[in-house]
Amino acid sequence: MNTPKKLQIVHYPDPVLRRKTKFIKKFGPDLVRLGEQMLKFMVESNGIGLAAPQVGISKKMVVVHVGEGHDPLILINPKVTWKSNTTESYVEGCLSLPSIEGPVERPLKIKVRAQHPENGEEYEFEAEGLEARCIQHELDHLDGVLFIDHLAPKDRFEVQGGLRDLERALA
């Protein structure tokens, strides 16, 4: 996997953010290093989650660390295998869409299957609350979906000006 020397956030509307990502098949120290690099960069960027496409890598990999009481996660080829029927609306933002926020309805609890970066071994775990929300947000990135795609029409309308500003900045 070609890892960039220095990670940088890819901003909307860069096309990499809308691509479906590829499965990771090669595991080992390089992948662990990339995960650790992404976690460090995410924290430095004041984020709690980061998907590989957000740093220009079109692979199925995300990192998450929502804070104290939670372990930092490096998730390879992750998939939500179960979602609770109970949902909650909460205002989300994204490092790739600076200064854009909006309320997104998501399940409160989920089960996730992923692979360990060092050996590809599969494991499953449950997440709830902010951690579950963050994982769902980051996994959306792996399918080219952004949180703005989940906004209700009136909320989507409210962020249009900010999206146009980001489009002009990238043009």
Catalytic residue numbers read: 138
The answer to whether the beta carbons of residues 100 and 47 sit under 8 Å apart is no
Q: Which two tokens stand for residue 57?
A: 């890598």
Q: Which residues contact 14 (CB under 8 A, 6 or more apart)?
A: 96, 170
d(CA 143, CA 132): 17
Q: Which two tokens stand for residue 84?
A: 């609770």
Q: Which residues contact 170 (CB under 8 A, 6 or more apart)?
A: 11, 12, 13, 14
